């Protein structure tokens, strides 16, 4: 796949110091994408990479003026090239109601503040939907099926209604079946080094996963006494 180039809308020049925008750029860069700050449509045209734009990430502002500016950019950015530039909107909870009237202006959205893993998952799905990435990666262990691109999971063809962090924990265990992870490692690798919650967070999420698996399959996640947890590959097959 060619190098991916993402335009990150900043709006006014001083908005580039916005912590949300800084985190978006950091997350894209860490995931191997090229993040380019653009203030407006003129920047989008002038800074267009030779390979074109893979997508655009647009944080919706907190003020009425900034919000109007961001949605205007979403609308106009689609007219820059013959092919539509996929748009991922970063939006605060208080503005979610605006989405229903603007379906034609964006392809996907993520709530702010966001977890880097969720941003990466949505970016991957955005690229796949626009034909810029291979088909979705599937993790299959016996009756357990995970679609890594759409963060959906099923057990014996029964969809699992998981929260984002429940899914991230299950995926982390599923890609290394049989390997034991301590609670500390799971906290660092799934929740991130900046997460200050205690080890009990892992226990709570494991308990919820087992409950959603049902009694018949709760044993798929095994407790290794005094160590941590593993996904029992032998019982998944």
- The residues, any chain, with a CB within 8 Å of residue 187's CB and separated by 6 or more, are 195, 197, 199, 201, 202
Measured CA to CA in angstroms, residue 234 lies from 3, 28, 207, 208, 220 at distances of: 39, 37, 20, 22, 9
Tell me what pLDDT residue 68 has.
86
Domain ranges of the chain: 5-129, 138-236
What pLDDT does 121 receive? 84
Give me the pLDDT at residue 135, please: 54
Q: What DSSP designation does 218 have? A: G
- Tens of pLDDT along 55-72? 999 998 767 778 888 889
Q: What is the DSSP letter of 192?
A: -
Please return the burial class of 107, using the count of CB atoms within 10 Å of its CB with bins 0-12, 13-18 and 19+. buried
pTM (2 d.p.): 0.59
Judge if 5-129 and 138-236 fold alike in CATH terms.
no
Nearest to 217 by CA among 153, 152, 155: 155
The CATH T-level fold of domain 5-129 is Rossmann fold (3.40.50)
Q: Which residues of the chain have pLDDT under 50?
A: 1, 16
Q: Nearest 5°: phi and psi at 40? A: -165, -175
The pLDDT, as a whole number, for residue 232 is 86
Q: Is 109 helix (H, G, I), strand (E, B) or coil?
A: strand
Strands (DSSP E) along 61-143, which ranges? 87-92, 108-112, 138-141
CA distance 99 to 95: 8
Q: Say what the alpha-carbon torsion angle 73, 5, 194, 165 is, to the nearest 10 degrees.
A: 80
Give kind and range of the element (H or E) at residue 77: helix 64-77
CATH T-level topology, domain 138-236: Arc Repressor Mutant, subunit A (1.10.10)
Helix (H, G, I), strand (E, B) or coil at 52: coil
Which residues, at least 6 apart from 73, have a Cβ–Cβ distance to it below 8 Å? 9, 11, 40, 41, 44, 58
């Amino acid at each position: 796949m060619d190098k991916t180039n993402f335009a990150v809308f900043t709006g006014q020049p001083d908005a580039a110091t916005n912590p949300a925008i800084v985190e978006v750029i950091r997350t894209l860069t860490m995931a191997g994408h090229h993040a380019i700050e653009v203030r407006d449509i003129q920047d989008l045209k002038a800074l267009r990479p030779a390979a074109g734009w893979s997508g655009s990430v647009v944080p919706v502002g907190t003020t009425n003026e900034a919000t109007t500016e961001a949605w205007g950019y979403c609308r106009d950015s689609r007219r820059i090239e013959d092919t539509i530039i996929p748009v991922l909107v970063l939006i605060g909870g208080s503005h979610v109601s605006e989405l229903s009237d603007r379906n034609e202006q964006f392809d996907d959205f993520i709530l702010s503040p966001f977890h880097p893993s969720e941003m990466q998952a949505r970016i991957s799905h955005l690229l796949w939907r626009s034909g810029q990435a291979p088909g979705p990666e599937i993790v299959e262990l016996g009756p357990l099926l995970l679609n890594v691109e759409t963060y959906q999971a099923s057990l014996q063809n029964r969809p699992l209604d998981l929260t984002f962090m429940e899914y991230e924990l299950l995926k982390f265990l599923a890609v290394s079946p049989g390997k034991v992870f301590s609670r500390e490692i799971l906290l660092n690798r799934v929740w991130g080094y900046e997460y200050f919650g205690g080890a009990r967070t892992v226990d709570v999420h494991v308990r919820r996963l087992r409950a959603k698996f049902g009694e018949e399959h709760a044993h798929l996640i095994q407790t290794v006494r005094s160590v941590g947890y593993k996904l029992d590959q032998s019982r998944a097959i």
